[in-house]
A and B are shown apart, each in its own frame.
Chain A
């Protein structure tokens, strides 16, 4: 708990006054390799002691940093164009819950490892395990959140992270008589779910939204075996042709809005 007060954020540069508490800092998740994850807690604007805790994870893999969820989606602040100041997000999710952002795994954002090989051997399993260790140790620093209603939220490749962490928590809780992680559920958006079905659904979307020609659509369906580990040369060529010669300069993440020049 002493570390909790050290982690308290008094005010961020360029931040407007806010009616909620914020904390941020590191939790070591592996002493041997020296892996530590960076978190940022923005407590609820009213009655934080009564509101649930929600852990938010972005995707990538390698992009679960505070650039996305915290700074342009659900966090309380948006960053202005010059990077000099912050302004309030009218639809911040911390009016309904205490939002915990985590930069994960080590190597993303401010989260680091003292073993550089960790940057080249990360994967789903260790990411989920480190995240579980993070939560258990974080709860020691913030004991008021033990047994609190707890949810996990995320998007994109967090379609892996979120259910995999939820599974580890469920298994951990089964093995402990008085589990402190009171996980109630999770919510994921535009979530990577199943390589085979996602791929078919994606190519179908490209065709039904007139991003690719019939010819390319047929070529992808003909040459791509979506259940194979590796894509064939013909498949790669068909998909590359679509992206490089048929999509045009769109923002693939939002196909009807202007792309960033």
Chain B
């Protein structure tokens, strides 16, 4: 229910003052999501895969991860989509470790790293903060995830 805590905190006038927020008197409460925007969203690309191809060619470091207990954008959805990039495998599928536990699984392709985070839902850092932190640190360092 952590979303409810945010709704309380960010609607406090003293918090908004400290954040220099809501300085124009927005005519509605602060909410975690805007239902109006969601309902009337206009253009949405059918597929981002062509953009991935473009950005891989541009030489960006690209990591894609999946918390494997999410059923909204599940790991199988991401794997199915990424598989259609037809990328060449650089480092074959292996379990990566956090502490002495398997933190998830990963495979490194030419131009993209895919990793799962074991036991994490849609908001990976909420459910598996330590594993998400290790993932982020490896990404920033440009290093493969720890093999032990």
Contacts and interface: CB of A to CB of B under 8 A. Distances in A.
Given A187-B64, A193-B82, A91 B71 contact: no
Nearest to B65: A189
Given A62-B38, A123-B41, A201-B79, A71 B63 contact: no
B51 A63 contact: no
Nearest to A159: B48
Most chain B beta-carbon contacts within 10 A, residue among A26, A74, A160, A164: A74
A135 interface: no
Given A72-B123, A183-B60, A198 B12 contact: no
A12 B15 CA distance: 6
B67 to A, nearest CB: 6
Interface in B48-70: 48-49, 51-52, 54-55, 58, 60-67, 69-70
B84 interface: yes
Given A67-B10, A119-B37, A199-B77, A12 B19 contact: yes
Given A163-B48, A198-B77, A255 B5 contact: no
Interface stretch (A140-148, A204-212, A230-238): A204-212
Interface residues of B, number: 89
A190 B70 contact: yes
A25 B21 CA distance: 6
Nearest to B23: A26
A253 B18 contact: no
Contacts of B12: 13, 83
B51 A190 contact: no
B63 to A, nearest CB: 4
A190 B78 contact: yes
Interface string A180-220: 00011111111111111111111011101101000000000
Given A6-B20, A89-B129, A257-B121, A124 B78 contact: no
B77 A202 contact: yes
Interface in B29-58: 30-38, 40-49, 51-52, 54-55, 58
B132 A83 contact: no
A138 interface: no
B96 to A, nearest CB: 15
Given A201-B80, A260-B1, A255 B71 contact: yes
Nearest to B63: A187
B14 to A, nearest CB: 5
B55 A163 contact: yes
B2 A72 contact: yes
B101 to A, nearest CB: 15
Interface of B: 1-10, 12, 14-16, 18-24, 26, 30-38, 40-49, 51-52, 54-55, 58, 60-67, 69-84, 117, 119-127, 129-130, 132-133, 135-137, 139-140
10 contacts: A9-B19, A24-B20, A63-B38, A65-B6, A108-B37, A112-B26, A186-B55, A188-B65, A194-B46, A255-B70
